[in-house]
Structure 1
């Protein structure tokens, strides 16, 4: 009896092993089959819809179009086989900065050719007008540029740029850059620092303010996405990153070492010292002038970095990529002070004594 039970258990174990083996084999075959099917499906989807086609298809890509919208438009017009595959391909290749306009395409184009066309802006018509936003401009100055180009009163444009419903609609559209931090208690203007400095082309006679701002925010998002890993590595939010970048932008001269200016700001924060940067005082007052007086330094505002430690509540201007890179890659120094001489040269120092000596030499006696 004992040996019979042992034999029975051996047979059961053998049967179980066979079942498990068959199950694993079946699963492996299924996984391979699914993988191969997916591989060939994606490979097929990446090929031209019709490699021999000579048909010309006109596609309109509106201002502010998302990748999802563009992908679906291309599929609807028979230019790509699968919108979802196109979208994932774009994300995998880290492609961005697609331009609005009216494109002539055909079904024989590869996905990469379509992407290259959308990025280089090979379109039918010339832009009706362009709009240049220089680095370091503030929201009221950007409103003036928009007003001039669209023939609207500046006050109306500026009011709209600060309208709560308008900003909320943009937050819904750009949740990864426009967060609730723009609504912080002491924020002066929610969109300050978020409209990237660049030259923008428009292909409509009278684009809406939302279309204009969306193009700018598209650019901001593409730039921020490029720096996203560095921003997270430095344990910064996008809002803090843009704020620090704006402070560097406002202090920089053509001859300035922005990474050294960044190091001064970070060193002062580490030492629990106020940043004491003059542009924040002028921003608090809503002024634009060359020199800051001792009276200016007394302004009672959360943006006054002579009276408040740490970063300002938000950006004080729109920074360019040079200042952004400095904010993420500051120089390794022990500097705590800097000043700009009349010729634009920036002098750095580690002690107050040294700073005062440089100030007497290059500023006070001039």
Structure 2
């Protein structure tokens, strides 16, 4: 009887222990499942963060960001600089990614990078010393084009109708927005009373790469004005010293761009214009007449010189109200550093070669010699 009682107690304790073991197992299993779930979720989050951080910051961005990589910069400082400029999302991950791919030999220099570039494109650029990215297409704007002519090029290359392009560049909201972005380049001068088109001359002639199939008109125009700012900014100190405006520079340079037939003539024609301005003589340059007329002609007639328009430099002294075309770097530099001459007159012969003189008598002889047809 006593033995049966002891056995019953023992079995009872064993059953209780089994229950405890089952409870413990359930708790351990529950904790394990929770930890696995947390690990899975955490792992997915980490994976998602890493893959996201190694994607371009903005795949559709056309903005060019200038990044200076000093000589002797290590991978950590380069990555930090790229993150600071907004080119990458996470400097540490970029650094680890580069190390994982055994990439560390980068070149010092100034880079024009984009937020749309992938880590591989950035690494390739920093290795080769040049931006390594293939554009979807390019738009080339030659020197000396007017806004209307630029609109035709954009329509042909980007499919944006001329009317849409011209409406955008002449819209007051567009003008104010761009003036806010580039205040040292686009000043109140472009809104002067007699200005025909505010952005005339401010869309820089260059070849522009685009990395999306259909860039907006705003993206295209912003790129062109930004290029103007990049190329004109080095002259700002000179202009301030000479008490001249950016608008003066762009206007003067546009005349040289339309008049010059060869590179060396730009500096000489600039000297002619400077000399005429000194003696209060009209510039008398044919391209301003054509701009006033609003049409292209192979030959300017005497009756054309009588057109009443602020841009006609036969009828008005000094520079015209604004640029008449887009000027390139050579013309900008010719304004800053013209030739030293006493020339007052020049003309282009039938071959497009310019002939200069400092007297009206010789100028008349040049006309007889080169333009009479004899």
Match of residue 118 from structure 2: 103
Q: Mapping of 1:112-261 within 5 angstroms?
A: 120-123=130-133, 126-254=134-262, 256-261=264-269
CA contact (8 A) 2:348 2:354 kept: yes
Q: TM-score, normalization: structure 1?
A: 0.73
RMSD after superposition: 2.9
Give the deviation of 1:118 after TM superposition.
11
Q: Separation in 2 of the partners of 1:117 and 1:294?
A: 60
Q: Does 1:267 align with 2:275?
A: yes
Q: Does 1:77 align with 2:76?
A: no
Task: Say which of 317, 322, 328 aligns to 1:320.
Answer: 328
**Does structure 2 retain, via aligned residues, the 8 Å contact 1:138–1:318?**
yes
Mapped partners of 2:197, 2:83: distance in 1? 32
Please state if 1:63 is matched with 2:78.
no
> In 2, distance between residues paired with 1:316 and 1:150?
24
- Per the TM alignment, residue 94 of structure 1 is displaced from its structure 2 partner at its CA by 9.9
What SS class does the counterpart of residue 348 from structure 1 fall into?
A: strand
**Structure 1 CA distance for aligned equivalents of residues 129 and 187 of structure 2:** 27
Quick one: distance in 2 between partners of 1:100 and 1:282?
A: 42
Pair member with larger Rg: 2
Structure 2 length-normalised TM: 0.72
Structure 1: runs of 5 or more not aligned: 1-55, 82-92
For residues 199 and 314 of structure 2, the distance between their equivalents in structure 1, rounded to whole angstroms, comes to 24
C-alpha distance in 2, partners of 1:250/1:70? 44
Q: Deviations over 1:167-216 (max 9, x none)?
A: 11111111111111110000011111001111111011111111111111
Determine helix, strand or coil for the equivalent of 2:275. helix
- Three-state SS of the structure 2 residue aligned to 1:131 is strand
Instruction: Tell me, yes or no, if the aligned pair for 2:57 and 2:116 is still in contact at 8 Å.
Output: yes
Matches of 1:241 and 1:118 in 2, distance apart? Answer: 36
Deviation at 1:232, TM superposition (A): 2.8
Number of equivalences: 294
CA distance 1:140–1:176, change in 2 (3 Å): same
Q: Supply the distance in 1 between the matched residues of 2:244 and 2:138 (Cα, whole angstroms).
A: 33
Equivalent pair of 2:272/2:344 in contact (CA under 8 Å): yes
Is the CA contact 1:57–1:104 (under 8 Å) kept in the aligned structure 2?
Answer: yes
Match in the other structure for 1:87: none
Q: Does the residue aligned with 1:338 lie in a helix, a strand or coil?
A: strand
The aligned residue for residue 53 of structure 1 is: none
- 1:150 and 1:297 map into 2 onto residues whose CA distance is 37
Contact 1:255 1:346 in 2 (8 A): no
User: Following TM superposition, by how much is the alpha carbon of 1:288 offset from its aligned partner in structure 2, in angstroms?
Assistant: 0.8
